[in-house]
Amino acid sequence: MSPIARILAAGAAFAAVATAGVALAQDYSANPTYGTLNLSAGFRPDPQTVNVQSGGNLNAQNLSSACRGFIANAPDVRLNYQAGQYQLMISADSSADTTLVINGPDGSWYCDDDGGNNGLNPLIQFNNPQSGQYDIWIGTYGSSTLQPAQLYISEIGTR
């Protein structure tokens, strides 16, 4: 193997290892810690609420520079959603400063820190949501300490 080919192979191997660390940080194939919701557009009651413990030992910023907080490896909640004519809002509420990380049906990561209730809670709004699987993590900003929180899923408004 030529020196250039060895350098390229080493670079490719390094890139694969570096990328694998980020890709494996959150395991959206793992069973969600607090269960799965199967909802179709027009669901009732609205909002759907799930009690969770926010936080974990993984820094969400490793997924994207737009993400904040500390989250768990496995999703907190999985939402299987059949979209209709409504928007979809996913938010969290806690006395702690919480964050939100969602892996959407398109494989993209969506994150929010303080866009929701009381300025310290997150909200992610999908104006034209896709049908499919949404894996949801509720993080704790600035600390890996677990904190009680509520996850809200709504089509008609935020909490």
pLDDT tens digits for range 48-87 = 999 999 999 999 999 989 999 999 999 999 999 999 999 9
- Reference 151, options 121, 129, 107, 111; nearest CA is 121
Domains of the chain in sequence order:
28-154 (2.60.120.380)
Contact 51, 37 (CB under 8 A): no
pLDDT grade, residue 94 (50/70/90)?
Answer: very high
Pairing of the two strands 70-71 and 58-59: antiparallel
- For the ranges 13-22, 26-35, 67-76, 138-147, the lowest mean pLDDT is seen at 13-22
- For the ranges 10-24, 27-41, 67-81, 82-96, the lowest mean pLDDT is seen at 10-24
Per-residue pLDDT, 15: 37
What would the mean pLDDT of 22-40 be, rounded to a whole number? 82
Q: Round the CA-based radius of gyration of the chain to a whole number and report it.
A: 18
Is residue 147 scored above 50 in pLDDT? yes
Contact 94, 142 (CB under 8 A): no
Integer Cα distance of 133 and 153 in angstroms: 14
pTM of the predicted protein model = 0.82
Integer Cα distance of 79 and 110 in angstroms: 14
Per-residue pLDDT, 152: 97
Pairing of the two strands 77-82 and 36-40: parallel
What would the mean pLDDT of 88-95 be, rounded to a whole number? 96
State pLDDT tens for residues 128-142.
999 999 999 999 998
